[in-house]
A and B are shown apart, each in its own frame.
Chain A
Amino acid sequence: MKKVLKPREREQLLGTTYAFPMGIWFTLFFTIPLSIIVLYSFLKRGLYGGVEWEFTLDAYRQMFNPSFAKVVIRTLWISIVATLGSILIAIPCGYAMAKSKYQTILLFLIIIPFWTNSLIRIYAWISILSTEGFINTLLIKMGILTEGVQLIYNNGAVVLVLIYMYLPFAILPLFTTIDKFDFALLDAARDLGATKLEAIVKVMFPNIKSGLSTAFIFTFIPIFGAYTVPLLVGGKDSTMIGNIIVDQVSKTRNWPLASAFSMVLTLISLVGVFWMLYNGKREQQQTKKTTQQSLELNIRRHHLRKVNSK
């Protein structure tokens, strides 16, 4: 007898089929390279690059070198400052876009920079900030300065350009959640005695939490792994983890150490993603739990009433 599939089963089967190409793609170009990195980080360094097939924890031991620790700490604070800066700018941007009549045009304007090579955009900033650059020339012409001031090749410039590069990643998720936000809630909060700021902090922020955490992850992770920006606009003391990895691969030829640092980046990103997933799950569970509780409560009450009436 031929087995007839129920519609639901057929859908599941089709789903598996559709997912197959994507599965192959991820295995070939994502899982395998990642496994190689994990593997290399536990191997002994080869003399002229590459690895020797001998298990060792040397790479991880080398990471605790004080000079590397300094870089890790710097990477952390630069990333946090740049991420918070992006989000602080992105919230009013997203708000203005959600309220605007010209949403499509504004979205378009935000996406346009992506069509230009990121290196060119960084070089544009160099020409704006450098000693003979746009800002200095303007200030000298206006008579405010007599000679150019060093604006570039320091950590401030790195933070500024990082914010510029990753701002769209913060604006887009915030815009989508703010767009879904019911602005009547702000009216209600104002009506009930909240000032403008209180209404935004106490009513809008809790309701766009998912957008805030997405914006945080979307900006923090790429900024944490950045290497072109600190390389081009940073000074001697602006190196970040990304630069160490490049140096270890191309100059020092210590592939296991480069792999170990990559592992650190990947793990921190994973922590972020899991934190986001966990937050989403917890919110779901909370509502489920209360539904369950109220159901049980109702059943109990029903029984009590029965007992009492007897």
Chain B
Amino acid sequence: MKGVEIAVEQVSRAYGTFKALDDVSVTIHKGEFFSLLGPSGCGKTTLLRIIAGFDYPDTGTVEFDGKDILPLPPDKRQSNTVFQTYALFPHLTVYENVAFPLRLRRVEKEELDRKVREYIRLVQLEEHIDKKPSMLSGGQKQRVAIARALINEPSVLLLDEPLSALDAKLRQNLLIELDVIHDKVGITFIYVTHDQSEALSVSDRIAVMNKGKILQIGTPYEIYEAPATRFVAQFIGESNIFPCKVLACEPYGKEYMLTVDVPSLGGEVTVTDYDPSEIGAEVDFTVRPEKVRITPNPPKTTHTYMNSYKGVVDEPVYSGFQSKFYIRLDNEAKPIIKVFKQHTAFLDEGPEIEWRDTVYVSWTAADGYIVKETDR
């Protein structure tokens, strides 16, 4: 495996009174596609700039394979960066932009030409080799930036929101290309983004950040299916979140089956969790909208741990590949629960659900989960 292991230990960085990074520790494995995900101002770009050498921490250490890199200037580090604004040199052609790092190292002429062409082929820009950056589209500029950053054969590629300036369709394509390139070159990628779908679709692991702290580090699956905090649950995907109190907790196969009292749903809910909970603990109950079933009639099921509520459609939103429903439940608190319905066998699903219809929402115990560490 190429690349290096990056160890960030207890790094803090403050600008005046604003804490951009607050005691951040994370280890990024060799050859990993690692994402730093969070809203703007959460410190993810500051962390990237510290790793690249454009900023420095007030306290803490950053090591590449156990070697302290903080004393090194950016040009002496084994990392290269793809900038959010591309930062292509406007006075140079695509070829010369990609050749720039090699010219600095005075690489021999034939070797230089061979390598530049190889990397331009890697990002599929052979046709635009003699153009100036001003004549390229956003996606093409981004590819030049990637080729230029890779040609030095760095151990780490740092990507600072590289796709944020592109339109949605192009972003998806480039993201897949980026993943292919990662598989080809096999080095460590650190990808900074505020877009959760980008992070979920390509990362090996994700660190979710907010207010200068890392809230959770895990695989996309873990982050989505078992968010550690309320913020993570809300930031990644959409969620129905209700505060609740644990009434009972007993082993259920490898997991635990909990019965919690959710006052806003007006009753008890059964839910599975990986870890046991103390009886009487104040936690949050969460269920993703796409896991809730919506039916015009009470659900016919033999499932033991089924949660079902009656409500009225407050707002139906048709959005092509799915429909969103905001259901107002029929109890004292009148909570609203979001439901996403996929259009599978659209015509066979009985009468279409419309505004003001009375419906039933239901989910099994395995569909919900418990968020313990609240950051309210």
- Which A residues form the contact surface with B (CB < 8 A)? 182, 184-185, 187-195, 198, 202-203, 206-207, 209, 287, 290-291, 294
> Quick check: B73 and A190 within 8 Å, CB to CB?
yes
User: Which chain B residues numbered 57 to 91 have a C-beta less than 8 Å away from chain A?
Assistant: 73-75, 79-81, 83, 85, 87-91
Chain A residues with Cβ below 8 Å from B87 are: 182, 184-185, 187-188
The closest CB in chain A to the CB of B74 belongs to A190
Known: A193-B104, A194-B104, A290-B132. A182 touches B85 (CB 8 A): yes
Contact partner, A192, options B53, B100, B134, Cβ 8 Å: B100
- Which B residues form the contact surface with A (CB < 8 A)? 52-54, 73-75, 79-81, 83, 85, 87-91, 100-101, 104-105, 130-132, 134-135, 148-149, 152
Cα of A229 to Cα of B73 in the assembled complex, Å: 46
Contact partner, B91, options A193, A198, A207, Cβ 8 Å: A207
Interface on chain A toward B: helix, strand, loop, or mixed SS? helix
14 A-B Cβ contacts within 8 A?
A187-B74, A188-B83, A188-B87, A190-B53, A190-B74, A190-B75, A191-B52, A192-B80, A192-B148, A193-B101, A193-B104, A202-B104, A207-B89, A291-B135
Chain B residues with Cβ below 8 Å from A185 are: 87, 89
Chain A residues with Cβ below 8 Å from B131 are: 290, 294
Cα of A193 to Cα of B52 in the assembled complex, Å: 12
Cα of A206 to Cα of B92 in the assembled complex, Å: 9
> Quick check: A207 and B90 within 8 Å, CB to CB?
yes
Known: A193-B104, A195-B75, A203-B89. A187 touches B132 (CB 8 A): no
Cα of A202 to Cα of B135 in the assembled complex, Å: 21
The closest CB in chain A to the CB of B77 belongs to A191
Cα of A184 to Cα of B152 in the assembled complex, Å: 19
Chain B residues with Cβ below 8 Å from A290 are: 130-132, 135
> Quick check: A191 and B104 within 8 Å, CB to CB?
no
Chain A residues with Cβ below 8 Å from B91 are: 206-207, 209
Cα of A202 to Cα of B54 in the assembled complex, Å: 19
Q: Write the nearest CB–CB distance from A99 to chain B, whole angstroms.
A: 15
Cα of A187 to Cα of B53 in the assembled complex, Å: 9
Chain A residues with Cβ below 8 Å from B149 are: 191-192
Q: Write the nearest CB–CB distance from A302 to chain B, whole angstroms.
A: 13
List 16 other contacts, CB 8 Å, given A190-B53, A198-B104.
Answer: A187-B74, A187-B83, A187-B87, A188-B89, A190-B74, A190-B75, A191-B74, A191-B75, A192-B80, A192-B100, A193-B105, A195-B75, A202-B104, A290-B130, A291-B135, A294-B135
Cα of A193 to Cα of B91 in the assembled complex, Å: 18
